[in-house]
Structure 1
Amino acid sequence: MQQFINTNRKEIPPTFSQDAISFHRQLPNYIPTPLVDWQVYASQHHLKNLFIKDESQRLGLKSFKGLGTSYAMFRILCERNHLDPQTTSLAKLRTMDHSKVTFVCASHGNQGVAMAWATSLFGCSSYLLIPKGSSKIYQNQIKRKNVQVVITDGSYDQAIQKARAWAKDNDGILLQDIAWDGYTKIPTWIIEGYLTMAKEIQQQISTTPTHIFLQAGTGAMAGGMIDAFHHMYPKAQLIIVQPISSPCLYVSMEQTKRSSVVCQPTIMTHLNRGIPCLITWPIIQKQVNCICICEDDAAIRGMHVLKTNDIISGPSGALTMGLVDQIVKSDALRNQFQIQQDASILLINTEGDTDPFLYQSMVGEDRCLII
């Protein structure tokens, strides 16, 4: 594990709205995901609390991605139909014909599953580009009416370029949470959809957190959550964790500018991103306390630790737990991160066993890990 301490933090006003929860409450089968207060672990490791927001139980999709995708689609369809999103209900929008609307995105899996679900909710179509090497299990999960899946050669970032071109040539609507010059409105809506997690946590948590660990690829979700949490819990330490294979935020902090990296293979495919999100990078740069980069072993460790409390997590979801487990077992690391016995740590398990075969290969009954 390596860390970069941000010594140039600055106060900035909130960037994103947290109003999407009013839309999400209208979704079929919506319930807030659990916030687990793992007192046994906290007691064993001399903490006050360890809170885990479990997104593996989100809307039957096993990840948080449906929050951003569904809210962005709602906003887009309202705009196309000249409707006020503040007064338009989901029920009304679903009575309208959106069959000629096609959304397109690149995805390693979780975003694609969420988009296929959301387009079926609204009666739209989907065109999904999946980078070569992504698990075939996602192709089965994505199979729905009016969903076309294309396996592409190259990386995720290259798949995004193909998605952009396809959307332009076929009058499609690109739906990605990474932003760039000229493409910020839709990513903003997606990120605002993610912030339903922050609103739920605020309503569920029993103690103000002292440390919040957030995993990141481009930093879209992490930056949005930092924007919310910094103003909810101004004294909390905000820590981002990335795979060492794709440290775009870490490198950007070192170079004091938004920088791209060449991604290397990792089991944390949903965090394997090469360039920071344009609209959340300034938030991260000014408000994060620390960025850490970790090897794949940290994710595997986290998966095993969470399983002992019956929390199912894929590698990308478990990375923060793996790092926290390493920190709390080392006096030196506890001192570096200022984690004392009164610490209340908050994590988000961003995904469940979205790839069950990968999950079983890592933490199945025949596998063990000495922790």
Structure 2
Amino acid sequence: MLFKSTKPYPNIKKLMLGFSSVPDFSHNMSTSPLPRSIYTNPAAASYSSSPSTALTSNAVFDFHTSLPTYAGPSSLIPLPKIASSLHVKNLFLKDESHRFGDLPSFKPLGLSWGIRNGIIAELSEETETPISPDISLPELASQAKAAQMKLIAASDGKLGQAVARLGKSFGVEGINTRIFIPGDADEIVKEKVRMEGAEAIVVQGGMEEAVREAWLHSVAVDGVLVDVEEDENYEDIPRWIVEGYSTIFKELDVQLGGKGPDWIVVPVGIGGLAQAAVTHYKAPRLWGRLTRVLTVEPETAASLHTSLKRGELSTVKTGETIMQGMNYGMVAKAAWPILKEGVDASVAADDAEVKAAMEKLKGEGVDVGPCGGALLAALEDVLKDEELRKELGMGEDVTVVLVSTESS
């Protein structure tokens, strides 16, 4: 987190945002069960997004391609048999599950861009001299190392390991990266953080306590707090993380010959990836083709679906699902306005149809986890309704891309 304070907690001041107290990370939104259905928004076809300068200038994409860990675009896998059975011209799966090896799928794309900008902002504040946004990675790492920059995060999964590994690319090494881990987390979570050379700090209690302790520590040491979820007092780094996901879609444009697909299907979770998809594909395009966005969530954790139907941001009580990567009861507040206006269709999928979709993909030699299977299940739900198919313009000449974020 980006702070400046002469004392360990009072009079906290965040860069560009003032703090009056420790954020409680709570969301006062309505809650109700979800009846299963397909939601459509015809007005989304005319929605126009407003990408940041970093996106329109290709700064994010250029940064990622300069990283030593960048090995080229993730695979775009054609699925001709399934396309034929669904009566669409082309169906592809963009496989994000192996982009960073053992790190969590696409997320390091966002984390790396968020960490970069967080360090630039913190160094600029400390030195009172703005650092050029065009600074090279080696120069930024050199300055961060000299300043003994600290990276702080809370994690009960792979995020901590990802922050620790990425930090080394930015000159933040060893115990200068500190990951706060809830006491009930699996031992492997702590081990992987330590294997990266970072400090694993075990917190008594659950994830809420770990987040709070990480927040307080980042204030005390003037460190950069890295978290994907925003709060009213913590917005910059989550926004930069979402910007980082745009590289997926920049790559896809090139892979499809310089034009977008007719439809793109994305998982939701807390909404960052879906937000990035809407922002990218609903921006003005030279090619003139309209790309529509179909989102999918578990039937038992369909916060976006519920919110779209109600017309207001809502939380839902989550239940059991095999789609653990999307098992969230709320969509990020920052994502909601964009998703509300820009999502063309939303599906809540159940476990049974997701399992069946995974088997179909396996039959084409594609190994995906439940969140990947959900993409095909959602597409099938829409396409089996002829009237809906016609309404959405999903004729036999369309190209559809599934953005899969996990393997089995």
Q: Do they fold alike, i.e. is TM over 0.5?
A: yes
* 2:237 alignment counterpart: 186
SS at match of 1:225: helix
Tell me how far apart the structure 1 counterparts of residues 214 and 267 of structure 2 sit (CA, whole Å): 25
Gaps of 5+ in 1: 353-358, 360-371
SS at match of 2:181: strand
TM-fit CA distance, 1:92: 1.7
**1:351 and 1:116, CA in 2 relative to 1: closer, same or farther beyond 3 A?**
farther
SS at match of 1:213: strand
1:45 to 72, 79, 86: 86
1:345 has 2:397 as partner: no
**1:168 and 1:307, CA in 2 relative to 1: closer, same or farther beyond 3 A?**
farther
- For residues 49-64 of structure 1, the aligned pairs below 5 Å read 49-60=90-101, 61=103, 63-64=105-106
- For residues 169-184 of structure 1, the aligned pairs below 5 Å read 171-184=222-235
Q: Give RMSD over aligned pairs.
A: 2.9
TM-fit CA distance, 1:89: 0.9
- Do 1:35 and 1:205's aligned partners in 2 also have CA atoms closer than 8 Å? no
Gaps of 5+ in 2: 1-35, 125-129
1:222 to 274, 284, 292: 274
**1:158 and 1:209, CA in 2 relative to 1: closer, same or farther beyond 3 A?**
farther
- Do 2:104 and 2:162's aligned partners in 1 also have CA atoms closer than 8 Å? no
1:77 has 2:124 as partner: no
**1:327 and 1:12, CA in 2 relative to 1: closer, same or farther beyond 3 A?**
closer
1:249 has 2:249 as partner: no
1:288 has 2:343 as partner: yes
Tell me how far apart the structure 1 counterparts of residues 254 and 361 of structure 2 sit (CA, whole Å): 23
- For residues 1-371 of structure 1, the aligned pairs below 5 Å read 2-9=37-44, 11-16=47-52, 17-18=54-55, 19-30=59-70, 31-60=72-101, 61=103, 63-82=105-124, 84-96=131-143, 97=145, 99-107=148-156, 109-122=157-170, 123-124=172-173, 125-129=177-181, 132=184, 138-142=189-193, 143-148=195-200, 150=202, 160=211, 163-165=214-216, 167-168=218-219, 171-206=222-257, 208-231=260-283, 232=285, 235-328=290-383, 331=386, 334-335=389-390, 337-352=392-407, 359=408
**1:91 and 1:140, CA in 2 relative to 1: closer, same or farther beyond 3 A?**
same
Letter of the structure 1 residue corresponding to residue 76 of structure 2: L
Cα displacement string for residues 279-330 of structure 1 (whole angstroms, at most 9, x for unaligned residues): 2211111111122111223433343333333333222233212322454456
What TM-score do the two structures reach when normalised by structure 2?
A: 0.76
Tell me how far apart the structure 1 counterparts of residues 187 and 351 of structure 2 sit (CA, whole Å): 21
Tell me how far apart the structure 2 counterparts of residues 78 and 200 of structure 1 sit (CA, whole Å): 26
Tell me how far apart the structure 2 counterparts of residues 313 and 279 of structure 1 sit (CA, whole Å): 29
Deviating more after overlay: 7-16 vs 176-185: 7-16
Cα displacement string for residues 197-232 of structure 1 (whole angstroms, at most 9, x for unaligned residues): 111111111464222111101111211211111124
Letter of the structure 2 residue corresponding to residue 89 of structure 1: S
Tell me how far apart the structure 1 counterparts of residues 78 and 61 of structure 2 sit (CA, whole Å): 22
**1:205 and 1:85, CA in 2 relative to 1: closer, same or farther beyond 3 A?**
farther
SS at match of 1:95: helix
Letter of the structure 2 residue corresponding to residue 262 of structure 1: K
- Do 1:120 and 1:145's aligned partners in 2 also have CA atoms closer than 8 Å? no
**1:6 and 1:331, CA in 2 relative to 1: closer, same or farther beyond 3 A?**
closer
* 1:367 alignment counterpart: none
**1:332 and 1:23, CA in 2 relative to 1: closer, same or farther beyond 3 A?**
same
Cα displacement string for residues 345-367 of structure 1 (whole angstroms, at most 9, x for unaligned residues): 11111123xxxxxx3xxxxxxxx
**1:106 and 1:137, CA in 2 relative to 1: closer, same or farther beyond 3 A?**
closer
* 1:362 alignment counterpart: none
SS at match of 2:314: coil
Tell me how far apart the structure 1 counterparts of residues 187 and 277 of structure 2 sit (CA, whole Å): 30
TM-fit CA distance, 1:7: 4.8
- Which of the pair has more CA radius of gyration? 2
TM-fit CA distance, 1:341: 1.2
Total equivalences in the alignment = 350
**1:330 and 1:290, CA in 2 relative to 1: closer, same or farther beyond 3 A?**
closer
**1:37 and 1:294, CA in 2 relative to 1: closer, same or farther beyond 3 A?**
same
* 2:17 alignment counterpart: none
- Do 1:48 and 1:342's aligned partners in 2 also have CA atoms closer than 8 Å? yes
Letter of the structure 2 residue corresponding to residue 226 of structure 1: V
Tell me how far apart the structure 1 counterparts of residues 271 and 246 of structure 2 sit (CA, whole Å): 13
What TM-score do the two structures reach when normalised by structure 1?
A: 0.82
